[in-house]
Amino acid sequence: MKVNRLFGGCLPAVYLSRGLQTKLRGNPYDKIEEKVIKKATLFLYLLKKEGVVINMCGIVGYIGTQDVKDILLNGLEKLEYRGYDSAGIAVVNENGVHIFKDKGRIAHLRTVVDETVLSTVGIGHTRWATHGAPNQRNSHPHQSSTGRFTIVHNGVIENELELRQEFLPNYKFISDTDTEVIAALIEHFVLEKEDVELAIRHVMSLLHGSYALGVIDAGNPDVLYAAKNKSPMLIGLGEGFNMIGSDAMAMLQCTNQFVEIEDEEFIKLTREGVTIYNLLGVPVKRSPFTAELDASDIEKGTYPHYMLKEIDEQPYVIRRIVEQYFEDGQIKMDQKIVDAVQSADRLYIIAAGTSMHAGFVGKQLFEQLAGIPTEVHISSEFVYNTPVISKNPLFIFISQSGETADSRAVLVKIKQLGYPSLTITNVPGSTLSREADHTLLLHAGPEIAVASTKAYTAQVAVQAVLAAKVAGKSDLDLSRELAIVANVMESITDHKEQYEEIAKEYLTQRNCFYIGRHVDYYVALEAALKLKEISYIQTEGFAAGELKHGTIALIEKGTPVIAIISQEAVNLNTRSNVKEVKARGANTVIISLRSLSSETDQIVIDDVHPLLTPLVTVVPTQLISYYAALQRDFDIDKPRNLAKSVTVE
Ligand code: AGP
């Protein structure tokens, strides 16, 4: 149970189609045509109809003894990574409920909050606009018409129109949000049922869609209510206080004791305790668990960016993987997983982006170590262009977040076909983890930067452990080899100036190439993705020998070409390819292993086991990307147009 179930079950953000996103984000509300908003709403509805789980926004709530404003604002800051365009808090005291909210960042919200208002109960929200434009009016919290109920909501209510028509035909709504319908319904049913808890549970039973809710009742400010269905939420426990949050990170400032919430559960929080109920009002018992991470895991500390911190964490992640998966030098792993892999006649790795690149390295490992034929598929392609599947396949889903909709669509499909599945993820409570037959965890700790770094190396390392376990006895002493990898990673991250210089000297053009052969080609793909996604330099990862079949036409004076050389069998071939591009004016950089290096190579890395070289050759490329983006002054942790987890197909 540990670290990763805390940050999320999901690290989600909802992303509309790029076009709609641009329209919604790029325009002040007044300029957005109503039909665009309607179209966005319909689009979300269709996504839901197709079974795509949509999560967005962030929630935090607190009831205790300390002034709540900073607790909420600090908690919301920890949820910023999810992406948002507006934020707000509501606090309640003897003078009633006070709401502070606006479009823009948390830093701006801090300037809006009235410091003189004191309160020990409150809810907060970061909003990523879906129903209605990002503006003050649509920002959460929202209230019922009398102001008695104030709520924050993460999710999408699909039947809000029907609910408006059936129960609230004459209601005067202030916002365009589906959330306000929930607040209005609660008040409506409180009048009818004369019992707040009953009313909220009744409203829950009427809602179709996803929600994580925090509710304040001005009539009873010593209670905080919460409810959950499909959107992520955790309870945080403390001495004299209790909390809710979209993930543990929002609450770690106050506690490391958490309780999970299942779908369709209703929660009553007071200062003294928390009770979870099912929809029928029957109390549910659930044990708390202790977070294995502390606030420093999710703080940048002295780092200017999460990405740099996460690059630096890689040696520790590799050591943690060894700790988790080895005992007395032997691999310890659920035998059911080992059996599932051993009995497969072919492995199908399904993943997207960086995780897919880790899957390519995994293919090499499964084939070389365990002798099992392995295919790697882009998840978004597999569903609609399904290849012929072998007799006894095993599907391996690789996903940092465990929430990627493209991969989930494949999982749904292969489950319908009756095939077994394994998810390799950083997030145990995640959708892919819950829905697959088996899960292997990455133990990488929270990865906050959108650009994935430590999750990639953890994905490669965990696949190596699995492949070695399935292979049984072999000459490879994996725990020792991984320990060497961790040390070599450290020797790379200890000399960052070198990569800063390379980024400055070589990445001066609007394009760049990474080339490599064999497993270095897979690392070239990942290196190219990393560089393009944060520095916006158009970069291609290429099989070095393939350049001359067309792409070499793009090489001109000054084009940066970075070659990766870690495999003896292709050392000379790749070097020939470097000469070819150099002769055509390219500015070349070579990253090589020491035993294969030549005097002129710019980056030389100490040797590791030949099957594990991607774990170390990727690190300089991560640092080069980081410094290229830094030199361009881009938002490194939150690059434009990207989400940490892509929860729509
Ligand atoms: C990589 O830096 C990106 N963030 C992206 O390619 C990512 O790896 C991809 O979206 C898959 O995400 P997942 O691992 O959470 O499934």
Is the pLDDT assigned to residue 51 strictly greater than 50?
A: no
pLDDT winner (highest mean) among 7-11, 51-55, 274-278, 641-645: 274-278
Tokens 């080609």: give the residue.
521
- What's the rounded mean pLDDT across residues 294-298? 66
| HSE, side-chain direction, 13 A CA sphere, residue 300 | 13
130 vs 479: which has the higher pLDDT: 479
Which residue lies with its CA nearest to atom 2 of ligand 1?
A: 451
User: Smallest Cα–Cα separation from 565: which of 553, 577, 583, 556?
Assistant: 577
Q: For ligand 1, is residue 314 a contact (CB within 6 Å)?
A: no
- 532-588 confidence digits (pLDDT tens): 999 999 999 999 999 999 999 999 999 999 999 999 999 999 999 999 999 999 999
Distance CA 350, CA 396 (A): 6
Which residue lies with its CA nearest to atom 8 of ligand 1?
A: 354
- pLDDT for the residue numbered 301: 76
Q: For ligand 1, is residue 359 a contact (CB within 6 Å)?
A: no
The pLDDT confidence band at residue 293, using thresholds 50, 70 and 90, is: low
Is the pLDDT assigned to residue 40 strictly greater than 60?
A: no
- pLDDT for the residue numbered 53: 36
- What's the rounded mean pLDDT across residues 289-297? 71
Phi/psi region, residue 190 (left: phi>0; alpha: psi -120 to 50; beta: rest), is alpha
Distance CA 526, CA 536 (A): 15
Distance CA 156, CA 139 (A): 15
- On the question of a cis peptide bond just before residue 420, with omega within 30 degrees of 0, the verdict is no
In eight-state DSSP terms, residue 383 is: T
- What's the rounded mean pLDDT across residues 6-11? 32
Is the pLDDT assigned to residue 18 strictly greater than 80?
A: no
- What's the rounded mean pLDDT across residues 601-609? 98
Least confident of 33-47, 174-188, 401-415, 588-602: 33-47
Least confident of 89-103, 126-140, 358-372, 556-570: 126-140
- What's the rounded mean pLDDT across residues 586-595? 98
Q: For ligand 1, is residue 452 a contact (CB within 6 Å)?
A: yes
- pLDDT for the residue numbered 649: 60
Which residue lies with its CA nearest to atom 5 of ligand 1?
A: 353
Q: For ligand 1, is residue 399 a contact (CB within 6 Å)?
A: yes
Distance 638 CA to ligand 1 centre (A): 13
Instruction: Report the nearest atom of ligand 1 relative to the CA of 642.
Output: 4
- 302-336 confidence digits (pLDDT tens): 899 999 999 999 999 999 999 999 999 899 999 99
- What's the rounded mean pLDDT across residues 425-435? 84
- pLDDT for the residue numbered 155: 87
Pocket test for ligand 1, best of 360, 379, 400 (most atoms within 8 A of CB): 400
Q: For ligand 1, is residue 404 a contact (CB within 6 Å)?
A: yes
Catalytic residue among 23, 48, 57, 309: 57
Least confident of 47-56, 359-368, 372-381, 515-524: 47-56
Q: For ligand 1, is residue 138 a contact (CB within 6 Å)?
A: no
84 vs 103: which has the higher pLDDT: 103
The pLDDT confidence band at residue 9, using thresholds 50, 70 and 90, is: very low
Distance 641 CA to ligand 1 centre (A): 13
Which residue lies with its CA nearest to atom 10 of ligand 1?
A: 353
Phi/psi region, residue 354 (left: phi>0; alpha: psi -120 to 50; beta: rest), is alpha
- 174-221 confidence digits (pLDDT tens): 999 999 999 999 999 999 989 999 999 999 999 998 899 999 999 999
Pocket test for ligand 1, best of 399, 452, 638 (most atoms within 8 A of CB): 452
CB neighbour class for 553 (10 Å; exposed up to 12, middle 13-18, buried from 19):
exposed
Distance 2 CA to ligand 1 centre (A): 22
Instruction: Report the nearest atom of ligand 1 relative to the CA of 351.
Output: 16
Q: For ligand 1, is residue 467 a contact (CB within 6 Å)?
A: no
Catalytic residue among 48, 530, 532, 644: 644
10 part of the active site: no
Compute the mean pLDDT over every residue in the chain, rounded to the nearest whole number: 89
Is the pLDDT assigned to residue 237 strictly greater than 80?
A: yes
Q: In what order do the strands lie in the sheet with 224-229?
A: 142-143, 149-154, 211-217, 224-229, 265-269, 274-277, 283-284
Q: For ligand 1, is residue 352 a contact (CB within 6 Å)?
A: yes
- pLDDT for the residue numbered 405: 85
pLDDT winner (highest mean) among 50-59, 350-359, 444-453: 350-359
Q: For ligand 1, is residue 11 a contact (CB within 6 Å)?
A: no
Distance 142 CA to ligand 1 centre (A): 33
Which residue lies with its CA nearest to atom 16 of ligand 1?
A: 399
What are the structure tokens assigned to 27, written together?
Answer: 């325009």
In eight-state DSSP terms, residue 387 is: P
Distance CA 414, CA 422 (A): 12
Pocket test for ligand 1, best of 644, 646, 647 (most atoms within 8 A of CB): 646
Distance 452 CA to ligand 1 centre (A): 7
Distance CA 368, CA 278 (A): 50
- CA end-to-end distance (rounded Å), the chain: 29
Is the pLDDT assigned to residue 42 strictly greater than 90?
A: no
The pLDDT confidence band at residue 230, using thresholds 50, 70 and 90, is: confident
Instruction: Report the nearest atom of ligand 1 relative to the CA of 459.
Output: 14
Is the pLDDT assigned to residue 54 strictly greater than 50?
A: no
The pLDDT confidence band at residue 8, using thresholds 50, 70 and 90, is: very low
Record the pTM.
0.70
Distance 629 CA to ligand 1 centre (A): 18
Distance CA 184, CA 169 (A): 11
Distance CA 325, CA 332 (A): 5
Is the pLDDT assigned to residue 81 strictly greater than 80?
A: no
Q: For ligand 1, is residue 355 a contact (CB within 6 Å)?
A: yes
- pLDDT for the residue numbered 34: 41
Instruction: Report the nearest atom of ligand 1 relative to the CA of 452.
Output: 2
Q: For ligand 1, is residue 354 a contact (CB within 6 Å)?
A: yes
SS (H, E, C) 433-469: HHHCCEEEECCCCCCCCCCCCHHHHHHHHHHHHHHHH
Distance 342 CA to ligand 1 centre (A): 28
- What's the rounded mean pLDDT across residues 620-645? 91
Q: For ligand 1, is residue 60 a contact (CB within 6 Å)?
A: no
- pLDDT for the residue numbered 56: 54
Distance 610 CA to ligand 1 centre (A): 26
Distance 28 CA to ligand 1 centre (A): 30
Distance 357 CA to ligand 1 centre (A): 10
Which residue lies with its CA nearest to atom 6 of ligand 1?
A: 353
Q: Which amino acid is located at 573 in the chain? A: N
Distance 622 CA to ligand 1 centre (A): 15
- pLDDT for the residue numbered 44: 38
Q: For ligand 1, is residue 121 a contact (CB within 6 Å)?
A: no
Instruction: Report the nearest atom of ligand 1 relative to the CA of 354.
Output: 8
Q: For ligand 1, is residue 400 a contact (CB within 6 Å)?
A: yes
- pLDDT for the residue numbered 647: 61
- pLDDT for the residue numbered 648: 59
